[in-house]
Amino acid sequence: MRARNTARAYGRVARFFHWTVAVLILAAIIIGLYAGRLPEGTEAQLRAIFTAYSVHKTVGMVALVLAVLRILWTLTQPRPRPLHPRRRLETLAAEAVHWALWIGMLVMPLSGWLLHSAAPGGFSDILWPFGQRLPLVPEDAALSERFAAFHDLGWWVLAGLVALHVLGALKHAIIDRDGTMIRMAGDPERAAEPPPAPRSGILPHVLAALAGLAIWLGVAPGPRGRPTPQPAAGPAAQAGSGWAVERGVLDIEVRQAGNAVLGEFGQWQADIDYDPQSRSGRVTVEVDVASLTLGAVGDTAKGPDFLDAAAHPTARFEAQILPPQAEDQPHMAQGLLTIAGQTVEAALPFDLSVAGDLAQARGRMQVDRRDFGIGAGYADESTVGFAVGIGFELSAKRQ
Ligand code: HEM
Ligand code: HEM
């Protein structure tokens, strides 16, 4: 069989690309659905989910590379002529579906790669040595959600297109018995000689391409498939206690399967008393645990194995603010940290600058989740790290 296409049949290279990409896309859909439906609860189950997503992503990336090579190859090839050029509508429909499949072959893995790249921390690696994240894509949970919404809706569209395409191929094989399948799967010598192409100009091709594009533009607005997370409502200011928080971020960082995953609490409030003269005071922070967003694993983190937001809706830090030991040293908030019903002593170093009635502070500490009995069933650090970073940044105004 010839490597190149002819007017009658696809050549060896086009067939190799067609069937490998077809198998990889179907495999990506099946593994993606399988991974999303695996039970999560124990450490072994979490590991199985990571592995399934890693395989899913890798299969998808190989499909992307082959699809790009396939497009480059196709551009250098003659296209086998339509077998029934007089059935204009049918030919146009088949071509429109082909266009939509070409686009789908690119945008499905690309949206997957984008959602993976934007996910804060990522959560299971693509199994290849060429790096994980696309350059220039910021780590942004909301952006990742938008690509995920496209990805989740997009696979339905791609699967629908493949179904139409296969039904078309079956119609040719069973009803028309016209040898269309032979052009892609059989002996090219047996492929029928297509009639000469009528002069139809470029317009039908442009229409088919636009129809194929329109299908994907319909998916593009994105976040219809799942609700977009609300922007963090931020801390509720507390008046009458010295300093009121005007803006602030409270984040946590955990390691999962070796990757750092960053999360944020959307709802918390701080009651701050601080005397700039003595550089000391006290602070109480109350955090609404259910307001945590944490990459793709927020729900697991808030579930019974970890923070158990249902049983322990509030986390609390009650501390004395101690002055810096020396000029270049940070302040220290030293006190009791209560998470998931367990209270532990904790010290949070932070930098503070006060200018008139405005104060800016930022600090970070590490705690060990085992001290709070969090994730007790996850005894292996390579699945969920023991150390958890807790950080904040805020600006406050004197009352
Ligand atoms: C698994 C069942 C599949 C069957 C039976 C099948 C069958 C065929 C056949 C017979 C052709 C040649 C049509 C012609 O000569 O006019 C073709 C072309 C094509 N197929 Fe498939 N296909 C399948 C899966 C897929 C999948 C999963 C994709 C992509 C996501 C795909 C994308 C394409 C494209 C883009 C063309 C046009 C190729 C070109 O013009 O260079 N196919 N397919
Ligand atoms: C041929 C390409 C691909 C197809 C057809 C595909 C299809 C799918 C499907 C069917 C799901 C399950 C959706 C559900 O549970 O409702 C899924 C989820 C997912 N895919 Fe892909 N995928 C592809 C490529 C990729 C790539 C290349 C990556 C990353 C590099 C990726 C990352 C993900 C992630 C993180 C999820 C879970 C998040 C979510 O629910 O959207 N995918 N994909």
- CATH 1.20.950.20 domain span(s) along the chain: 12-217
Question: With pLDDT > 90 as the criterion, what percentage of the chain qualifies?
Answer: 59
52: Cα separation from own chain's centroid: 15
Rounded Cα gap, residues 252 and 267, in angstroms: 13
Fold observed for domain 243-398: Lipocalin (2.40.128)
* Residue 49 near ligand 2, beta carbon < 6 Å: no
- Whole-number pLDDT of residue 231: 34
| Residue 191 phi, psi dihedral angles, 5° rounding | -70, 140
Mean pLDDT estimate for the chain: 88
- Mark out the alpha helices in the chain (DSSP H runs): 12-36, 43-75, 88-118, 141-170, 180-185, 203-217, 298-302
85 vs 156: CA distance, rounded Å:
30
Q: How many residues does the chain have?
A: 399
> Of the CATH numbers 1.10.1060.10, 1.20.950.20, 3.40.50.300, 3.30.2080.10, which one belongs to the domain with range 12-217?
1.20.950.20
Q: What are phi and psi of 378, to 5 degrees?
A: -110, 75
Rounded CA-CA distance 238/240 in Å is 7
Q: Is the pLDDT of residue 122 over 60?
A: no
For 31-65, the pLDDT digits (tens) are 999 998 988 767 788 788 889 999 999 999 999 99
Question: Per residue in 364-379, pLDDT tens?
Answer: 999 999 999 999 888 8
Pairwise CA distance, residues 192 & 183, whole Å: 8
Domain with CATH 2.40.128.110 in the chain: 243-398
- Tokens 């892609």 correspond to what residue? 184
> Please, which pLDDT band fits residue 240 given cuts at 50, 70 and 90?
very low
Distance 20 CA to ligand 2 centre (A): 18
Closest ligand 1 atom, residue 80 Cα = 15
Average pLDDT of span 230-243:
47
Gap between the Cα atoms of 361 and 196, Å rounded: 77
Band the pLDDT of 123: cuts 50, 70, 90. low
Q: Could you report the per-residue pLDDT of 12-26, keeping only the tens digit for each?
A: 999 999 999 999 999
Cα angle 379-382-383, degrees, rounded to a multiple of 5: 70
Q: Please give the Cα distance from 290 to 268 (Å, whole number).
A: 11
Contact 137, 118 (CB under 8 A): yes
Q: With bands split at pLDDT 50, 70 and 90, how would you rate the model's confidence at 224? A: very low
The confidence score (pLDDT) of residue 191 equals 83
CA 322, CA 275: separation in Å to the nearest integer?
11
Q: What is the mean pLDDT of residues 265-293?
A: 92
Cα–Cα distance, 237 to 376 (Å, whole number): 34
> Among 112, 108, 107, which residue's Cα sits nearest to residue 53?
112
pLDDT digits (tens, 9 = 90+) for 384-398: 889 999 999 999 998
CA distance 40 to 37: 9
Assess whether the C-beta atom of 154 lies below 6 angstroms from ligand 2.
no
Say if residues 216 and 376 touch (Cβ distance below 8 Å).
no
Banded model confidence at residue 219, pLDDT cuts 50, 70, 90: confident
Average pLDDT over residues 317-341: 91
Distance (angstroms) between ligand 1 centre and the Cα of 165 equals: 7
The token pair that represents 317 in the structure block:
């830090």
Q: Cα–chain-centroid distance for residue 136?
A: 15
Q: What is the pLDDT of residues 64-121, one digit of tens each?
A: 999 999 999 999 999 999 888 889 999 999 999 999 999 999 999 999 999 999 887 6
Nearest ligand for residue 130 CA = 2
Percent pLDDT > 70 in the chain is 93
Q: What is the pLDDT of residues 166-202, one digit of tens each?
A: 999 999 999 998 889 999 998 888 888 888 877 778 9
String of DSSP letters for 372-392: GTTTTT---TTTB-SEEEEEE
Q: Are 146 and 228 in contact (CB under 8 A)?
A: yes
CA of 112 to the centre of ligand 2 (A): 5
Residue 27's identity, in one-letter code, is: A
Mutate to test the pocket of ligand 1, among 6, 70, 184, 215 (most ligand atoms within 8 A of CB): 184
Q: Quick one: pLDDT at residue 225?
A: 41
Average pLDDT of span 344-357: 90
Task: Tell me the pairing of strands 280-288 and 268-275.
Answer: antiparallel
CA distance 300 to 46: 10
Instruction: Tell me whether residue 340 is exposed, middle or buried, using C-beta atoms within 10 angstroms of its C-beta: 0 to 12, 13 to 18, 19 or more.
Output: middle
For atom 7 of ligand 1, the residue with the nearest CA is 169
**Alpha carbon of residue 346 to chain centroid:** 34
Query: What pLDDT, in 10s, does the model give residues 148-172?
Result: 999 999 999 999 999 999 999 999 9
More confidently predicted of 136 and 139:
136
Instruction: Return d(Cα 352, Cα 366) in angstroms, integer.
Output: 19
Contact 361, 350 (CB under 8 A): yes
Q: What pLDDT, on a 0 to 100 scale, did the predictor assign at position 221?
A: 62
Residues framing ligand 1 (Cβ under 6 A): 14, 18, 21-22, 25, 74, 79-80, 98, 101-102, 105, 162, 165-166, 169, 180-181, 183-184
The answer to whether residue 236 scores a pLDDT higher than 60 is no
